[in-house]
Amino acid sequence: MRHILGRPRRRILALVGTAALALGGAIALPGTAQAANILTNPGFESGSTSPWSCTGNLGSVVSSPVHGGSKALQGAVTDSDNAQCSQTVSVQPNTTYTLSGWVRGSYVYLGVNGGASTWTTSPSAYSQLSVAFTTGASQTSATVYVHGWYAQGAYDADDISLDGPGGGGGDTQAPTAPGGLTSTGKTSSSVSLSWNASSDNVGVTAYDIYSGSSQVLSVSGTSATVSGLSPSTAYTFSVKARDAAGNTSAASNSVSVTTNAGTGGGTGFKQAAPYLYEGWGDPPNPTTVMSATGVKWFTMAFMLDSGGCNPAWDGSRPLTGGADQTAINQIRSAGGDVVPSFGGWQGSKLGANCSSASALAGALQRVIDAYSLKAIDMDIENTDEFENEAVQAKILTALKTVKANNPGLRTIVTFGTSTTGPTYYGNRLIEQAQSLGANIDVFTIMPFDFGGGSDMYGNTVNAAEGLKAKLKSTFGWDDATAYSHIGISGMNGLSDQQENTTPAIWTQIRDWSNSHHIARLAYWAVNRDRSCPGGGVVSNCSGISQSTWQFTSITAGFTG
């Protein structure tokens, strides 16, 4: 862990910068700013970070914990990135401004580039920071920031205020209208847009996207994806540019797009894919299982890191040319296909070990290329990935990258749950997916080892309904669309907590999944789909009485 005692050097430099900024305005007496917040999206209530810009793409908007309103900023600090989020605004020369904000976390900083900063440590509750600075004699813009400290965990920030008059030397010139607005892609619930950049005498700080007369999104770049839309519905979009002084351009050309028809209101992606593991539990011949059950897809476990961000099955078996490729070839020869699962509960994981989102995306791409994949699953578990906000962001950003680079690729994230829905870290994962625009196809929960007790059917349904509610509130989806982005991945027979999912219960879960048109049904694992009543929790049988491949046969009946 980076030593905290390195922090005072940053503090001294900030104070030196403050003195330099003040001296720059010493020729004339500074004016006093009137109390008016000139920041845009100061409380992040838009649901987007824009026009704030965050290093490493590590800033996202969350619904908890907040100081005021319903949203706040969360910065996913890493060992090498302090997750600084900043915004540039127009100011008036030789004027005193007050920057304040509410922050939560270990060692959170608030300040202005080239000027004053302040910090606090308040890991369990929001605390207010405030600092004043005076602009230079010819200064017309200022960049304010908030950030955490290396390896000290995520921070939260809310209700940030820069009190003073808007400036830019009295800038009243609006940017030119964006041109060339076009749709670059669509699904049943989203539309992707791009346009040509506007110009401005000072600089464009944001682009506001409109659906009809309603602003639906604000971004800093020249592309955006509007999500939470309804299937088979016509929408008309336009874009306006905005500068730091708040001047807004005329609207771009408009573009009309009709979203795709949905299957049950959603993505149209359906997958019955139980886990098959070639490194454990007497792995069966997959064609024998396919012939006996009718199943077509398998989730192949697990793709890990063999060192240096290099993918390998289980971290030790070769990416190609080994037992895993033999099984995949057999499955495809029998008319089936596979979705590799990256991660899992233990082992050396690519998500945790690859140094950046781009490096992780490169590792994923090597597997995609090796097997011409149609889908990939990121099984995000344990403290190294699931309970690490920075690693969550890295994984989601990598998935966004490979999805953009591989048209038609489906992306799945799999994670633990409580009996009532996503936990704090599950909610965090979903919120980050929305904030980053990751466009995840399926959010799969694992309803086992979760205190399910004797009612595994009821608690699995309750967990799925909790996930549906979270997807609706985060993405603005209706019930049908939310269900169509849900997956369930159970555990057949006895779980580690001695929960018992019997064939009858798994049939109930499958029937509920079909009637609610969810996207994916899986279980851990085909290796265990054999009878051994009283055998306990072992790798090659379920620990209960059942017929051979009975859970796989039930799963094969999932159609969504």
Q: What is the pLDDT along the chain (560 residues), one digit of tens a residue?
A: 222 223 222 222 232 333 333 333 333 444 444 446 888 888 888 888 888 988 888 888 888 888 887 889 999 888 788 899 999 888 888 999 999 999 999 899 999 998 889 999 888 888 999 999 999 988 888 999 999 988 888 999 999 999 888 764 467 788 999 999 999 888 877 888 999 999 998 888 888 888 887 777 777 789 888 876 777 778 899 999 987 777 889 999 999 988 887 544 445 689 999 999 998 889 999 999 999 999 999 999 999 999 999 999 999 999 999 999 999 999 999 999 999 999 999 999 999 999 999 999 999 999 999 999 999 999 999 999 999 989 999 999 999 999 989 988 999 999 999 999 999 999 999 999 988 889 899 999 999 999 988 899 999 999 999 999 999 988 888 899 899 999 999 999 999 999 999 999 999 999 999 999 999 999 999 999 999 999 889 999 999 999 999 999 999 999 98
Tokens of 215: 């602003």
| pLDDT on residue 215 | 74
The residue among 462, 463, 546 whose CA lies nearest residue 501 is 546
Alpha-carbon span 156 to 246, nearest angstrom:
26
Full-model pTM: 0.62
Helix (H, G, I), strand (E, B) or coil at 117: strand
Alpha-carbon span 104 to 108, nearest angstrom:
7
- Among the options 45, 278, 381, 389, which is catalytic? 381
231 phi and psi angles, rounded to 5 deg: -65, 155
| pLDDT on residue 210 | 87
The residue among 255, 267, 259 whose CA lies nearest residue 191 is 259
| H or E element in which residue 481 lies | helix 479-483
Residue-wise DSSP of 165-191: ---TTT--PPPPPPEEEEEEEE-SS-E
Helix (H, G, I), strand (E, B) or coil at 549: coil
| pLDDT on residue 221 | 83
E strand residue ranges, 389-457 = 410-416, 442-446
Tokens of 547: 């017929």
Residue-wise DSSP of 269-281: --EE--EEETTSS
Calculated CA dihedral for residues 533, 534, 537, 538, nearest 10 degrees: -70
| pLDDT on residue 497 | 92
Helix (H, G, I), strand (E, B) or coil at 149: coil
Alpha-carbon span 65 to 446, nearest angstrom:
25
Distance between start and end Cα atoms, the chain: 47
Alpha-carbon span 527 to 532, nearest angstrom:
12
Alpha-carbon span 386 to 261, nearest angstrom:
33
Which residues are 501's β-sheet partners? 493
Whether 45 is catalytic: no
Maximal C-alpha separation, the chain: 89
What Cα–Cα distance (Å) separates residue 182 from each residue in 179, 204, 252, 420, 436? 9, 20, 10, 41, 21
Tokens of 46: 């838009």
Alpha-carbon span 101 to 166, nearest angstrom:
18
Alpha-carbon span 427 to 474, nearest angstrom:
9
| H or E element in which residue 114 lies | none
Calculated CA dihedral for residues 489, 490, 496, 502, nearest 10 degrees: -170
The residue among 155, 134, 187 whose CA lies nearest residue 22 is 134
- Please, what's the b/e burial string for 171-205 (b: 16 or more CB within 10 A of its CB; e: otherwise)? beebbebbeebeeeebbbbbbbbbbeebebebebb
Helix (H, G, I), strand (E, B) or coil at 90: strand
CB 147 within 8 A of CB 84: yes
Alpha-carbon span 386 to 445, nearest angstrom:
12
| pLDDT on residue 16 | 31
303 phi and psi angles, rounded to 5 deg: -90, 120
